[in-house]
Amino acid sequence: MNARSLPDPPAVVGMPVADVDTPALLVDLDALERNLDALARSLAGAPVRVRPHAKSHKCPEIARRQIARGAVGVCCQKVSEAETLVHHGIGDVFIVNEIVGASKLDRLARLAGEARLGVTVDDEHNIDAVSRAMVAAGTTVDVLVEIDVGLRRCGVEPGPDAVRLARRVADAPNLRFVGLQAYHGRAQHVRRYEDRQASARAAADLTRRTLDLLADAGLQAPVVTGGGTGTYLFDAASGVYNELQPGSYVFMDVDYGLNLDRDDEPVSFFEQSLFVLTTVMSRAMPDRAVVDAGLKSHSVDSGMPRVHGVAGARFTRASDEHGVIELDDPGALSLGEKITLVPGHCDPTVNMHDWLVCVRDNQVEDLWPIAARGASR
């Protein structure tokens, strides 16, 4: 794969945060490290492996830190993400997504010769195509059959359909049937704790029944994977999942901040570590500040960003290069002032930036390339 040449970073190591050019994506290293530690600590002794989802950060530096804290590898969604991760030294990558099309399967098959690689299937023709690609490349890949446990995205119905596909994988040359992908994305953002727990339990029940049928058919499923930041503790306690794929926990975002804990308080187990640094570029109106971070700097698909640490300031509108902040106090925020935004949705926000500007004690400590930024094929 060709190395992507990155534009210059918006900062240099050692500079104060106030001097970082904007818009820039900042990560608070203390908060990031506490999040990484908190996940590892919360699962200590649990009968599960952690395989964090790298789609959230797309950054080999973070993948390495996750593995250093006990993760068995990472997962991702795209062949190009997997290529980037493997070529940056990550040796165990599951693509927990369906890969369709000859050129992608050809790349997948070649990559399977360089690392332990997994892929997800939900169709018998696709199984045959993956197998043919592997045979042609002389490689072998781990295969998970995806079941739809409530997300209504990819995946066959839990039950006999999954067993039929698992049998086909097990019989196909150069494929290793390793188990089930059972990710319930909708459950992650169910706001109330008990409701989220119930959604996760329903997914685990469907998965358990499918595992029973696989066992009846004589098919071993050593990997049962799913779960995200919202449900991973429920999934770990289910007795069904043995691998977990949380992604957003490293950064968090406004949307995840709306989830409630057992006491009906906003979740606080993981901290906000990701911010967009932006400059006030217009103060022409008393009740409005305009900043230089719009739709090309942060994603609003899950809602607007939150203005961090400025009372009475609400980010209400974004256009391509502008963000509009309404102010209660006409004296707040001056032209040229730099402020931080908490992104509405961390994953797509990260994908808009080439560099993570790593900050500690108000200084730039490091610059990490978001190496798989834009890796969407």
Ligand X SMILES: Cc1ncc(COP(=O)(O)O)c(C=O)c1O
Tell me if 248 contacts ligand X by CB under 6 A: yes
Tell me if 273 contacts ligand X by CB under 6 A: no
Site for ligand X (CB under 6 A): how many residues?
A: 13
Q: Which residues pair with 222 in a beta bridge?
A: none
Helix 124-137 × helix 102-111 angle, to 10°: 50
Residue 347 CB, shortest distance to ligand X, in Å, is 6
Question: Phi and psi at residue 344, in whole multiples of 5°?
Answer: -65, -40
Binding span for ligand X by CB under 6 A among 132-140, 223-231, 307-315, 336-344: 223-231
Q: Tokens 């999934």 sit at which residue? A: 235
Binding span for ligand X by CB under 6 A among 2-10, 39-47, 200-208, 241-249: 241-249
Tell me if 246 contacts ligand X by CB under 6 A: yes
Tell me if 96 contacts ligand X by CB under 6 A: yes
Which tokens hold the place of 371? 């190496």
Tell me if 196 contacts ligand X by CB under 6 A: no
Binding span for ligand X by CB under 6 A among 4-12, 182-190, 207-215, 265-273: 182-190
Binding span for ligand X by CB under 6 A among 23-31, 195-203, 240-248, 309-317: 240-248
Residue 129 CB, shortest distance to ligand X, in Å, is 21
Which tokens hold the place of 5? 């040449």
Q: Which of 325, 176, 172, 147 is nearest to 241 (CA)?
A: 147
What span, in angstroms and rounded, lies between the C-alpha atoms of 224 and 241? 5
What span, in angstroms and rounded, lies between the C-alpha atoms of 80 and 66? 20
* Cβ neighbours of 138 (radius 10 Å): 11
Tell me if 340 contacts ligand X by CB under 6 A: no
Taking residues 39 to 58 in sequence order and writing x for each that binds ligand X by CB under 6 A, - otherwise, the string is --------------x--x--
Q: Tokens 């490290």 sit at which residue? A: 33
Tell me if 247 contacts ligand X by CB under 6 A: yes
What span, in angstroms and rounded, lies between the C-alpha atoms of 180 and 16? 47
If DSSP codes are grouped into helix, strand and coil, which group holds residue 366? Answer: strand
Residue closer to ligand X by CB (options 23, 230) is: 230
Binding span for ligand X by CB under 6 A among 9-17, 82-90, 214-222, 228-236: 228-236
The number of C-alpha atoms within 13 Å of 24 and in the hemisphere containing its C-beta is: 28
If DSSP codes are grouped into helix, strand and coil, which group holds residue 10? Answer: coil
Binding test (CB under 6 A) with ligand X, winner from 21, 159, 185, 295:
185
**Measured at CB, which residue is nearest to ligand X?**
228
Binding span for ligand X by CB under 6 A among 63-71, 105-113, 180-188, 295-303: 180-188
Burial class (CB in 10 A: 0-12, 13-18, 19+), 287: exposed
Binding test (CB under 6 A) with ligand X, winner from 174, 199, 210, 245:
245
Residue closer to ligand X by CB (options 188, 207) is: 188
Residue closer to ligand X by CB (options 10, 247) is: 247
DSSP 8-class letter at 349: H
Q: Contact, 123 vs 90, CB < 8 A?
A: no
- Assign 3-class secondary structure to 92-107: EEEEEEECCCHHHHHH
Tell me if 238 contacts ligand X by CB under 6 A: no
Tell me if 22 contacts ligand X by CB under 6 A: no
User: Where on the chain is the footprint of ligand X (CB under 6 A)?
Assistant: 53, 56, 96, 183, 185, 188, 228-230, 245-248
